[in-house]
Structure 1
């Protein structure tokens, strides 16, 4: 099994390098100022915030953040979204397009993931960004790092993940912006030669959140959103201020054009005058804490939490779900509804142990959870959806306006088929 895993990893890197070689020809003709956005959570939100400022002056790597995705994006192509036979087409088409395709925007704002070991570092060594905006650090996709830790190179999964993300900072020529409240991040970048700006909580002057909006009073002015945003968004806004100051460009505080990415803290009107806050795109403990804290700060009488499994946590899976349970036990949620094997096995007992009086409902699947929700809604509830197990399907069934389904996460053909195979259609 270990040999197979090693072979797959080597093949992944080799194929990624093939596409990088050809796409590099197009990138060098283009020669943009490269701004990289990375982190365990909040990358896409950060990318979209930068777009509200730079607009058409930049090209943005929307829906492309892997070693393959970035290579395809640079030559104006998309990756595999349907048939695997498309790989043959890409192997031929990418080299051909690299010979003539050239973008013309002044900036390239690229979102970079550290999902797999060596992925971020492979891109860092290639793109050599002028600016890196490192938003966050946590146990995202920890399962991919268990083998790296087992090899003895690192003492823990946290250390391995931090080092992978830090490769972008180490390969940055001018400016690295980080969350100064995260010791693991500041430790990783203490020896790099470029300029470092560490964001602290002093950057936030005032925060307010409701089911339909959020506002942040920052050093440069007030940013207002038409979706509820977690308090930690101030870190990204402060990073945005630092970036624009570095580029010597004016800051636009009107972010009405900003739209939360699908499945990331997005508000929808629900049946029975309910408010649906959809944050079902993904989840690990850092993002769970952020969204739960946002709900606790929200002035609402009837608050519910619909929580799904946190996947790809590797060997730390049971511990992460136990900590989630301890966190939920301290909240004022009127209803806590758990969906999935992991939260039922680890989170539910942790809630009951920490707060024996707390009522919790656990369900194996989204269909049963939806039925419970529909049967118990009284009206005017604010429901948070966070985690896996196809929670976006539950949100879909509770929408007041069915056309809003297009704004939910995982609406591509493959995802719809996967949900249907689970009886969710």
Structure 2
């Protein structure tokens, strides 16, 4: 981005300002990561007032700053724009920049797989376009505007992750980003405590169609009946493309297998043939299908898609293979967890032939609402004692799963601790070896990577 301060003032419906020809090349809300030329946006919270850091922002190279109109003692010798609300100003700037930008915008939401789908799509398209994507978890009402404002003016594809915890949030993000293409990866159980049911979750995710323009495209999990129903009654101006493992989708995957630290599979539908991704897991193949459909809609050939998929890489802690101390092999899938993604990860471990001594290290699944005990207990139905050697459980909610598993697993196969990582670390040190494969899977708040860090 390269705009004068007066251009930004115009975005904010403000009159020309002092130092109006100052060039702004980005936006920041954090002086710790501010770059030269950024416009600093000071937020005022209960504990911290960002206005105290405005001078520091200028010292670190900020080109200009916003300032709340009711905040006293503004600097008179600095490039400043006065606004009523920092949050609304940030969103208004993003909306204006989005309207001027010529990139193809792609919005990605879903209960699980948002980040993986974003990573797969961005990686696959990078050889053919200039692509930028949401970094980290900048996927909410503040993060999405910052992501949009971080786009280079010559970016051709913008892949934007959209997160939510309640109704109306995806609607807001979609109408801000105005995507040309939208993806719903799946419907799981995350945020059940806020949305009440899987039906509520599906409706909240489906709000992503609200920002699609005429001829917009929604790519969705066609194996999910709740989405099938919403699509049947959705806006007629939208083109709907389904993906999944069942028949009659726009793109169906079959003959999946794990090969050489990746996944091979065949597809039929709008694309046909055999493909490979250097990523583990059947659920990651499903995330790949939505990326393939968008690539096809953008005009990439099957050969281009095949070559693009070969260079896919995911953000850390998503089915990440880590060869650790004593040649113990970890699958670090500890970024987050919900029943759907936990079942998928466990089923992968049970089916893989990477190693024979297979362990599960599972942490609490959070934000599941009043049925959280049932969701934890039901994981026992997925775990096959004939395929899993040992199970380690971490967190107060995992006690529910522990009580189910101890009926089938011998005491020496099963470890439970409410909050002590060292219990599991010492167990791994004692019993794991160079034939051991260990899955780490839990919600972000459980920080199961702490266990992995003891071995690297």
Which residue in the other structure is 1:306 paired with? 361
**Structure 1 equivalent of residue 149 of structure 2:** 75
1:249 corresponds to which of 279, 285, 300: 300
The alpha carbon displacement at 1:357 in A equals: 5.4
- Give the 5 Å matches for 1:3-402: 16-55=87-126, 56-63=129-136, 64-76=138-150, 103-145=153-195, 156-173=196-213, 174-192=216-234, 193=236, 194-201=238-245, 202=247, 203-209=252-258, 212-219=261-268, 220-227=272-279, 229-250=280-301, 251-254=304-307, 255-299=309-353, 300-328=355-383, 332-344=387-399, 346-353=400-407, 355=408, 359-364=413-418, 365-388=420-443, 389-399=446-456
For structure 2, the residue ranges without an aligned partner over 5 or more in a row are 1-45, 47-84
> Does the aligned pair in 2 maintain the 1:325–1:350 contact within 8 Å?
yes
Task: Give, in whole Å, the separation in 2 of the partners of 1:301 and 1:102.
Answer: 48
CA distance in 2, matches of 1:15, 1:199: 40
Shift of 1:113: 1.2
- 18 and 317 in structure 1: CA distance in 2 versus 1, 3 angstrom threshold: farther
Q: Supply the distance in 2 between the matched residues of 1:160 and 1:18 (Cα, whole angstroms).
A: 31
* 1:338 to 1:233, Cα distance in 2 relative to 1, 3 A: same
Q: Which has the higher helix share?
A: 1
RMSD: 2.3
Q: Which has the larger radius of gyration?
A: 2
Q: CA deviation at 1:330?
A: 5.5
**How big is each residue's C-alpha offset from its partner over 1:106-149, in whole Å with a ceiling of 9 and x where there is no partner?**
2221111123432211112222322111111111133333xxxx
1:153-210 C-alpha deviation (Å, 9 max, x unpaired)? xxx3222211110000243232111111111121222212111112231422322226
Where 2:161 maps in the other structure, the secondary structure is strand
Q: Could you state the TM-score of these two structures normalised by the residue count of structure 2?
A: 0.71
Is the contact between residue 327 and residue 433 of structure 2 (CA under 8 Å) also seen in structure 1?
no
Secondary structure of the residue that 1:260 maps to in structure 2? coil
Q: Describe the shift of the 1:144–1:323 C-alpha distance in structure 2 as closer, same or farther (beyond 3 A).
A: same
Structure 1, 276-285 or 109-118: larger mean CA deviation: 109-118
Specify which structure has the bigger relative contact order, considering alpha-carbon pairs within 8 angstroms and separated by 6 or more residues.
1
Partner SS, residue 277 of structure 1: strand
1:408 alignment partner in structure 2: none
Give the SS at the match of 1:253: helix
User: What is the alpha-carbon distance in structure 2 between the residues aligned to residue 58 and residue 260 of structure 1?
Assistant: 15
Q: For residues 334 and 356 of structure 1, do their structure 2 counterparts lie closer, same or farther at Cα, with a shift above 3 Å needed?
A: closer
Q: Deviations over 1:248-297 (max 9, x none)?
A: 12233133432221111000112222211000001010000110111111
The C-alpha deviation readout for 1:396-422, integer Å capped at 9, x for no partner, is 1123xxxxxxxxxxxxxxxxxxxxxxx
The alpha carbon displacement at 1:34 in A equals: 1.6
Find the aligned partners of 1:15 and 1:327 in 2 and give their Cα distance: 47
**C-alpha separation in 2, matches of 1:35 and 1:46:** 11
Q: Offset of 1:242 from its aligned partner?
A: 1.7
Q: Secondary structure at the match of 2:406?
A: helix
Q: TM-score, normalised by structure 1?
A: 0.76
- Give the secondary-structure state (helix, strand or coil) at the position aligned to 1:178: strand
Structure 1, unpaired ranges of 5+: 1-7, 9-13, 77-100, 146-155, 400-425
